[in-house]
Amino acid sequence: MQKLLNNISNIYFLGIGGIGMSALAQWFIQQNINVAGFDKVKGKTCDLLEKLGAAITDLDDINTIPEKYKNKEETIVIYTPAIPIENAQYQFFKERNFKLYKRAEILGKLSEEMFTIAIAGTHGKTTTVSLIAHILLKNRVPFVGFVGGIVSEYQTNFLQHSEEGKSPLLLVEADEFDRSFLKLKPSIALVTSVEADHLDIYIDENDLQNSFLQFAKSIPANGEILINEKHKNVFEGLNITTYGEEDGDYKRDFNKKGFSIINNEDSTDEITLSLLGKHNRENAIGAYAVCRKIGLQKEQISTALSSFKGIYRRFEIIHRDEKRVFIDDYAHHPTEIEQFINGLRENFPKKHVTVIFQPHLYTRTKDFHIGFAKALSLADRVILLEIYPAREKPIPGVTSQIILDHVKTSDKILVNKEDLISKLEKLDLEVLATVGAGNIDQLITPIKNRLSQLNYQKI
């Protein structure tokens, strides 16, 4: 990394507002490097970066690139795979032979220089990384952490603790999209799940599994590989440590009341976990196992876990009154949605559940519409929004309707975002959930405000 940054004083980010890109941008700002960038949507992460001094534009126009970033001897460009190849700024830098790097390449270079903990999996990465980062912070372990979500207690996706004279470890999410995680060189890897996803990148589920296996094989012989017990068969032949709620080397201690973790008869006291759902308990067990592997004591870890306050858009309770509860979650894969709704059922038994889902990507909807429908059918009422396209162009015949057609729940409807609030006003709601990885988060505050008004009016 030091060699890469020789004579470099400027870094330009294409897709700077992305949750992973913005965390990396914050780190470079701390290294006293000038940061600027483009993103088509200037959200909260861009607001934060601008406060830190970054120059950000939402116009794909080469004239909006600050002049000093047009000097290729002093500037490198970092981009996300979500940036389309026809992007004018991308083409500007490429045609002029600037040094362009994918975010994963930069993380790979960092991981070569630092002791690295990498969390992989088709879901569960962000929660597990957030838990580990919180544990490290509470125990004053030097580290640099790039989180794929906003950690509620710290209101940021970039977490760190430093001590003079001590080398920090690197904590990252190992993203399987675009096979990015194969660029990393971790010393400890944890895999939360291996399920079919990103089939626009992978040929099939077997191709995806082989990529995860290749990732695990990159761990050195003196390293550690931790695998969710449900997916251990993918890693047959490797020396692994397993974890899970019911089975694994690290698991829940059902001989105790409440939630506690056991390994080789070494059981914790009861942990007060703010995160709801079985999948989040498994994420906590995985985080516990990683932190034990790096030498923290069980009391240090369990105390920190009990103080964790949650993550933005991960089973986040937005509103609660005597009549209703409103929860938001980032789930965008059938398994994630199934786990989320099961978590609702576990924590709010016998309550009527309404789920609002915004599908993310045309390709994912095409590949998994049957799975989405099956998972959503666990709810009492399903409200579908149109597909959020992100980086993709429409696919003929692929709309939210193909999910709705297979939902078994009789109370189901397709609604425009603009009409959603007025539709909700007419419904008797007990448990309401918004779910999805697109821009459904823009509806959270309007829904919360309306529910608060309805409660005030005692309707």
Instruction: Report all structural domains of the chain as residue ranges with CATH numbers, in order of start.
Output: 10-102 (3.40.50.720), 114-306 (3.40.1190.10), 316-456 (3.90.190.20)
Residues pairing with 110 in the sheet: none
Mean pLDDT score of the chain, rounded to an integer?
91
Calculate mean pLDDT across residues 323-349: 91
pLDDT digits (tens, 9 = 90+) for 166-225: 999 999 999 887 788 899 999 999 999 997 665 667 778 888 899 999 999 999 999 999
| Partner residues linked to 57 by β-bridges | 38
Report in angstroms the alpha-carbon separations of 426 from 419, 434, 450: 12, 17, 12
Question: What letter represents residue 206's amino acid?
Answer: N
Number of H helices, E strands in the chain: 13, 21
Q: Are 151 and 116 in contact (CB under 8 A)?
A: no
d(Cα 243, Cα 229) in Å, to the nearest integer? Answer: 5
* pLDDT computed for residue 459 by the predictor: 34
Q: What is the three-class DSSP state of 232? A: helix
Cα(288)–Cα(302) distance, integer angstroms: 8
Share of the chain above pLDDT 90, in %: 70
Using a pLDDT cut of 70, give the percent of the chain over it.
97
- Rounded to two decimals, what is the model's pTM? 0.81
Least confident residue range of 7-16, 27-36, 193-202, 369-378: 193-202
Asked if residue 151 lies in contact with residue 137, where contact means CB atoms within 8 angstroms, the answer is no
Tell me what pLDDT residue 451 has: 85
